[in-house]
Amino acid sequence: MDQEDFNNPQREPQFTSWFGPTIRNNNNNSNNNNNNNNNNTQSGDSGSSEMLNNQIILIPDNDRYSNSNISNNNNSNNDDDSRNQGVTGMFSRNAYLDSIIGESYSVSNDNNQSNNQNNSNNNNNNYVSPIKKIETRFNDITLIHSNTLSDISNIFTNMDLQSLNLSGDELREVYLLHDYLKQKFTEYIEIIDRRRNIVMQEIDQENFELKKLHADSNSHQSVNVWTKLQRVRLRIVAGEIEEAQKIRVKFLTIIDHYKNAVNEYSEMAYQGRRALNPTSHFQQWVHSINPSEPSNMTKELKELYSISKNISRNTFSTNNGNRELTVKNDGYFPLKQLPSEILHLVLDKLSHKADIVRLLTVCKLWAQLIVKILYYRPQINKRVQLELFMRTMRLTASDTIFDYRSMIKRLNFSFVGDYLHDEELYNFIGCKNLERLTLVFCKHITSSSIAAVLKDCRYLQSVDITGIKDISDSIFEILADNCPRLQGFYVPQAKNVTFPSLNKFIINAPILKRVKITANNNMDDELVELLADRCPMLVEVDITLSPNVHDESLLKLFTKLGQLREFRITHNTNISDKLLLELSKNVSQLPALRLLDFSGCENITDKTIERIVMLAPKLRNVFLGKCSRITDTSLYHLAKLGKNLQTVHFGHCFNITDQGVRVLVQSCPRIQYVDFACCTNLTNRTLYELSDLTKLKRIGLVKCSQMTDEGLLNMISLRGRNDSLERVHLSYCSNLTIYPIYELLMACPRLSHLSLTAVPSFLRPDITAFCRPAPTDFSDNQRQIFCVFSGKGVHKLRHYLMSLTTPTSGPQTDIREVLTKYVILKNMLLPNEDLETGLHRITTELNQDSSAILAAAGLSQMNGVNNDMLFQNIDFERLDDVFNWYEASFEGHQISSTEINQLLPLVDKKFCEDPFDEEYDDAEGIVAPNANSILNSELCHIVRKFHELDDRVDDFEVNVASLARVQFQFTGFLLHEMVQIHMQMIDINRQITEIQKGVLESENENNIKGVLIWRLLFTEKFSELLQKFKLSTVVLRLYLKDSITLLTRQRELILANRRNTWNTGEGDEQPTRSNLLDQINTVSLSADELNILQLGDIRTTQISPNNALRPPLDMNNINQMDTRSDTPDDDTVLEEV
């Protein structure tokens, strides 16, 4: 044993084996099969043996009782002679009984010997009573006792103490230890002996009961129960022997280690080295052993005693009719025998507190436990609950049965903050055992009442006063003086707290783990360094809006707080790349860091992100909103976090592009929350990439103005039904219309929050009826464009949109399929007319009527229509001639198949498919092989223009492809888009025609062949694009044709209203264009007319008078109307006020 082991008197001596060497001997003694009706013979005893000093004792391991022997003993002799030989004569002689309980447990020195015994053998000469066996086994314990005392004396005698150079006092201590060890062992044996006496007394009593009952041979139940009980007794005996063996080994091992320690001590003392006498240490340790403790008994032995007790208590009861032994079946669990601590845990598991209230009258103990459970964390979620709770809290302790205040440990008033005032909070003064106090958004509470409640709360662990406006020094002073166990303190907007109070609080919070003190100008470098020095257990630090904190103090904070998990410091221009640069020199890693918030720290660049990823490889949440110098490079670095990254916030990071988002999403598949608010460079491609995030719960795309219906619909389609999205922020995405939002609602059953502020398509009375009210402090302009759905409002909006159309299985994008279904549904085909012929005829007729249809729609109430766009002049009958560039003749210039095979492999096919890839930001692909660079560059420009046009046509097709989508919104947007696409098609045709004309005039053979290869690649692509556009216009015009009556009526109403306005106007002043549009937009229509025009539905929509059409909005200034809701986080705060 090492020398330092003796320096700790409480340290237990170390042993090589606590129980000594063990030999397991599994001998299966199988019973002979008897020919009986049951034919159910089981194996006999299998034993385990333990060896100590060459003495082997076989311990029964698994006693089994075979019922197969019963049938052979029905005619056994009933002998009234009893055997009265000590303990063995306590029951009447019964051959049937003897045959059942006559199981043999042998003691053998041969571990391989197997004894077979026939249970049906009733030969009294060979019969050995189990009672005799019990007595014999207990005699073995006496033998162990005497042998152990002898061994202890022999070991001390053989130690040759005289040769160890011990002093007289030291020898005296050795002899005292010798006597003390023998005394302790004897105490153990006495405990076992007392248990033996109890067992013998129980057996005596039970056999007396059996004798009194005169159980006959037909009392199978009585015999079975008695046999089971006796077998349990025998196993108890075996357990006691094993217990004695273990105690013997334990003591002998102690002595052996003590002998070695004394020899080592003597040798060190002889050499003159400093040593500590081990005798006193062993004396203290032996003295600490308490043989009377129940824990000293093995678990198995405790279980056996418990089983024996239960059998004895439930078995022996007499039936006055036949005096037969019966077994009682207690139909209840003895709850009264449970310790109060366990009963408390059982009652606390009841999920509904109302259930345990009914148990208050069971008894006083139950009442005390139940009241503690109810008042441990009072449920105060509603105003009624608060009022009822306050009735009790207004009473003094002398007026109540229980001291309720002492039972309260957790108080949460967050759900009733509007109804809680200082007067109510003062009633909680005296809650000495309070551990947690939560007063989130309790706006009527002041610091004085909080300080009064917290006084003398020495067990307080957490305080959250988020939303309290009046925060003063008193709270910090009380916490510093009275709450040494405080671990969490959340106090945002602590702008009035002074430096001395902050300093005192930090000094007196040694085990503080979570702190949030924001918007305080007194939080400076000195206090931050004090936090690092005095609060070494900090894992969360939030010092948001602390402008006087610099890199130097934060460097010390990160260096000293190795367990820091979350850190927030926002809107601080003092924080720079220097912090992480110096930190990387001082520490190799920040392994515990999981959340980092540098929002508004404008001097942070990509270099900081690179180093933080190196230092914190397990970072999960990154907030970099309004860090305007962040670029795609930061996203590339964050992509290295892989599956660890879960939340990213890049609001107002204007330099981020689709490419950075693509790399981040592909590398981090477990992202759940994304926010790219005001990232104006992002397009629909970002939506496509987000479709790969299967765990995504929240999307923030506020003011991402390039997001369109096509991108949103494609994202929904790729993500599929039963989406995981819960919160979606699309405010100020003015290009969005109603149909993609309808599909979003249908695909996301978990959606609980939808932000669509300033999205024109949703500023309709029938839709805004379901949005939540705007915050009271909003201006009139902000109220006009506020449109946020949450909770039940989302469900109501979903059901309302569903009621307007047949639910779909997903976004519809096949325009030809839609047209075919529409034609068939409206019975537009003539008899015996095939589909293709019918479609051609319908298109021809529609082309002839288009002028009238569009004229009726020209001045109708359709948001987004620019009346200067003469869409009536689109010649739909000659739409196939829009792209006439591929009709240009290259006579005299042919290209052979050999040349084609040589030139085609030179074409950059990747550029042709995706010319906007980052690879081609500063370079161009080859699209006209062997042509000069100028011609190739011009055709590359045409390829890019084509892809832009193709994307726009796809978007237009998706918008028109579903009749449900046309029903959901004003068709003016679609007409406007149709005109824009047509003009863009004319323009790109003109450019291609000029390029071809210049090439033919130059007569450069290489350039001509380059153009021919380009035409070979793109002629079919342009043709397909044109066909998609044509079909989309056919569907749109068919819808307008169906609604032409209402459109004409609407035009008449607008013109009449305009004439009335002019006639009642002042003077001869003509209305301006803006005034005219305002008048058009404010024209009144009936509910039926408005419903049909807007929704394509003849059913009447109920519109409340309070939800009349809103005043007209200046869409050019819509982004300047609300500067407060720039990010989803800001929206959420405003919505939750």
Q: What tens digit of pLDDT does each residue of 1010-1035 get?
A: 999 999 899 999 998 998 888 888 88
Determine the average pLDDT of the residues in 575-597.
94
Q: DSSP assignment of 304-364, as one string?
A: HHHHHHHHHHHH----TTT---------S--GGGS-HHHHHHHHHT-S-HHHHHTTTTS-H
Neighbouring-strand partners of residue 446 = 470
Q: Given a cut of 60, is residue 835 above it in pLDDT?
A: yes
Q: Tokens 């005893």 — which residue?
A: 45
Round to whole Å and give the CA distance between 548 and 558: 17
How far, in Å, CA of 790 to CA of 727, rounded?
9
Rounded alpha-carbon distances, angstroms, from residue 222 to 214, 249, 318, 491, 1080: 10, 41, 11, 73, 101
Q: Is the pLDDT of residue 458 over 70?
A: yes
Task: Answer whether residue 1135 shows pLDDT above 50.
Answer: no
**What digits encode the pLDDT tens for the residues 755-794?**
999 988 888 888 889 999 998 888 888 888 999 999 999 9
For the ranges 240-249, 860-869, 1067-1076, the maximum mean pLDDT occurs at 240-249
What is the residue extent of each domain of the chain?
A: 130-315, 336-375, 572-682, 692-703+717-805, 816-851+873-1054
Q: What's the pLDDT tens digit per position in 473-512?
A: 999 999 999 999 999 999 998 999 999 999 999 999 999 9
Place of tokens 């009633």: 427
* pLDDT of 1002 above 80: yes
Q: Is the pTM of this model over 0.95?
A: no
Q: Is the pLDDT of residue 40 over 60?
A: no
| Residue 436 in this model has a pLDDT that exceeds 60 | yes
pLDDT for residue 315 is more than 70:
no
**Does domain 572-682 sit in CATH 3.80.10.10?**
yes
Q: Furthest-apart CA pair in the chain: how many Å?
A: 140
Written as six digits, the tokens of 608 are: 């900081």
User: Among 533-542, 729-738, 1036-1045, which is the least confidently predicted range?
Assistant: 1036-1045
Confidence at residue 15, expressed as pLDDT on a 0 to 100 scale: 33
pLDDT of residue 1062: 52
Q: Using DSSP, state whether 852 is helix, strand or coil.
A: helix
Mean pLDDT (the chain) is 74
Question: Hey, what are 735's tokens?
Answer: 């290009």
Tell me 11's DSSP state: S
Model pLDDT, residue 977:
79
Q: What is the mean pLDDT of residues 948-974?
A: 69
What CA–CA distances, in Å, run from 618 to 384, 592, 615, 667? 46, 8, 9, 14
Amino acid (1-letter code) at residue 292: S
Measured CA to CA, the distance from residue 1016 to residue 240 in angstroms comes to 98
**In 482-521, which positions are buried (b, 16+ CB within 10 angstroms) versus exposed (e)?**
bbeebbbbbbbbbeebeeebbbbbbebbeebbbbbbbbbe
DSSP type of residue 567: E
Q: Which amino acid is at 892?
A: G
